[in-house]
Chains A and B, each alone.
Chain A
């Protein structure tokens, strides 16, 4: 089926409506209530060496719990000494003192002139602290009032990340929704991806020529999601290879990827009913060293002369070295990476390139399985969200800047808050 325009917009508006409700709810939740306020009146000049010009201490020192942490930080806020504003002031900085319980004060930090806040991340939950801050001159210091005793609190939910949660929910929800829709048997349309259409031909060519297929899964370990994408594609490719009775060779730069790669290929061969044709020698660990690996793979390419080379995963500077060597031995090359910096080199030197998102979509596309295809459609909802938000943001900013329309500025501020990271 095709994606009707009407449905796109109704979907988008439904999402925005839901977003709007959440925004209101969260806005209420996030509104600050009362903070623990330091008591006592403002400055009391500390008695000090009367021969020296005395400096005004800082004022309005407040210690408050740092919100949304595991109870391991306290935040200090104050108004700098009035002397700090003078052109030739004698202030050389501030020193922060902390008292744990009824203990002795200990200096925990020194700050440059002009500072007005400090985050103490060396506190323990359930302990009680109070603070004061001294204004420093060359020879003396002028302490402020002490804050009320406070202990850091643990919060169970980070409300600052409410919008992040909502955006995650919206996109994940869309993906899961279309997965279930597809599971119920609804046929979904997915456009052709050239690089993936070519895989069968490329493997077939290797069979005809009697040369191996070389599969390079990038140089990162399993903690990079691009490596996982490469391995999922390997699952499909090795199945085709098993069916065609071609040879595959996969040199890797990480021991874990070797283990996982063997697991994948072995299962594919089993599924193809040819478990005997599988051998551990198909996947070999070379070295973790980036260019040592490249040197070895280059050697393999010129000696084995693979008919087809897959370069899928996380690539860095080696992308072009590998792709050019592969090209020089006349291999068909299918590349894909989510490293924008390396894409130009693959585009230049390979026959087909999976650009960014296409790498992650590849395995779902190749599987042809309805649930997997459904997840691709879910991704597109994320794109609709991005396009709508961008358009609204651009229009709001344009009007707010050109004609100073306040209402537009409000929309923009809201959007910027929702789409901010913290």
Chain B
């Protein structure tokens, strides 16, 4: 609930903007330092007092969310962690939200990594998200972690036709032949959905080319913001949904909380990080409007003089 600490700066920002707007209508310009102050307050306030804005999921995000939501319970989903610590602040929130959603819908997840560095980040998700949120779920029954295998696209080439050839055991050395999930899974074709979180190479593009297309499995991707535009040509046929950058993560978290109220109190890093972004963007947009009003009023003033 917003408290006084949030309200005061918010009132200051919006009150200030309205005041500047009134001044602009009278044709007055704004000084640089005033703009700087607004930006600082807009960024600092949500850091001190987390403010989250309700994000509406855009179709690219909603599509993936609906797919996971509508798969029958007990579907098997493959999820690959294809990123490194440098990319993690942007994409790990997506990985966490996606795993939460899948497990809440009682799907079975097979976790893997194409990047060696993905292994430890995968462990973070298992340790700090899945264990506390789903204490009753059992490793090896409700989800399996098969770990990392070297070979990049080569790995994909193999698992598209035979999963156990590349991953004979899970990360703890337990043969997959004894794991119930794999009774139904021989190759990637048998997964109901594949999720890849990353943005480098190998990443979503390789998943589409080497697995999605040949095996005709739907793929959902969570990627860093800079990579997202390159992925849109594959949407919605080859990639059924894209979470791009922190905004994508925030939209997904928002949607997740809306349909699964049990996650109301979960960590929402995406939404939290969007707080300063949204406020700052709004401030900049407001200043563009104010600038134009001041410009036109100023010009008209000159004409009539």
A contact set with B: CB distance below 8 Å: 87-89, 91-92, 111-115, 328
Contacts and interface: CB of A to CB of B under 8 A. Distances in A.
Contacts of A92: 165
Nearest to A324: B32
A112 B162 contact: no
A88 B165 contact: yes
A112 B155 contact: yes
Interface string B47-63: 00000000000000000
B162 A88 contact: yes
A87 B32 contact: no
A89 B157 contact: no
B46 to A, nearest CB: 24
Contacts of B16: none
A145 to B, nearest CB: 24
Interface in B114-163: 150-151, 154-155, 157-158, 161-162
A236 B215 CA distance: 63
Contact of A89 (B150, B155, B162, B187): B162
A112 B154 CA distance: 6
B51 to A, nearest CB: 27
A114 B162 CA distance: 12
A89 B150 CA distance: 19
Given A112-B154, A114-B157, A115-B154, A89 B32 contact: no
B186 interface: yes
Nearest to B158: A113
The SS class assigned to the A binding surface is loop
A327 to B, nearest CB: 9
A87 B157 contact: no
Contacts of B164: 88
Q: Which 3 A-B pairs have the closest CB atoms?
A: A112-B154, A112-B151, A114-B157
Contacts of A89: 162, 165
A168 B83 CA distance: 40
A89 B151 CA distance: 18
A88 B154 CA distance: 17
B32 A328 contact: yes
A304 B161 CA distance: 69
A420 to B, nearest CB: 19
19 contacts: A87-B161, A87-B186, A87-B187, A88-B162, A88-B165, A89-B162, A89-B165, A92-B165, A112-B150, A112-B151, A112-B154, A112-B155, A112-B157, A112-B158, A113-B154, A113-B157, A113-B165, A114-B154, A328-B32
Interface string B236-269: 0000000000000000000000000000000000
Contacts of B165: 88-89, 91-92, 113
A335 B155 CA distance: 49
A156 to B, nearest CB: 35
A401 to B, nearest CB: 15
Interface residues on B, range: 10 to 19
Contacts of B151: 112
Nearest to A138: B168
A92 B158 CA distance: 10
Contacts of B161: 87
Contacts of A328: 32
A115 B165 CA distance: 15
B29 to A, nearest CB: 13
A114 B158 contact: yes
A115 B157 CA distance: 10
Pick from A89, A91, A111, A114 the residue with the most CB of B within 10 Å: A114
A91 B157 CA distance: 14
B158 A87 contact: no
Contacts of B158: 112-114
Contacts of A88: 162, 164-165
Contacts of B187: 87
Q: Which of B161, B162, B165, B186 has the most CB of A within 10 A?
A: B165
A389 B162 CA distance: 45
B162 A87 contact: yes
Contacts of A114: 154, 157-158
Contacts of B154: 111-115
A92 B165 CA distance: 7
Contacts of B186: 87
B115 to A, nearest CB: 16
B30 to A, nearest CB: 14
A6 B291 CA distance: 49
B260 to A, nearest CB: 38
Given A112-B155, A112-B158, 7 more contacts: A87-B161, A87-B162, A87-B187, A111-B154, A113-B157, A114-B157, A328-B32
Nearest to A114: B157
Nearest to B32: A328
Nearest to B160: A114
Nearest to B150: A112
Nearest to B149: A112
Interface in B205-234: none
Contacts of A91: 165
Contacts of A87: 161-162, 186-187
B141 to A, nearest CB: 24
A138 B154 CA distance: 18
A239 B32 CA distance: 36
Contacts of B32: 328
A244 B238 CA distance: 64
A113 B150 CA distance: 12
Nearest to A327: B32
A281 B217 CA distance: 67
Q: Which of A87, A88, A112 has the most CB of B within 10 A?
A: A112
Nearest to A113: B158
A96 to B, nearest CB: 15
Nearest to A86: B162
Contacts of B162: 87-89
A383 to B, nearest CB: 27
A114 B154 CA distance: 7
A92 B162 CA distance: 12
Contacts of A111: 154
Nearest to B164: A88
A87 B158 CA distance: 9
B270 to A, nearest CB: 25
Contacts of A113: 154, 157-158, 165
A114 B210 CA distance: 13
Contacts of A112: 150-151, 154-155, 157-158
Interface string B154-184: 1101100110110000000000000000000
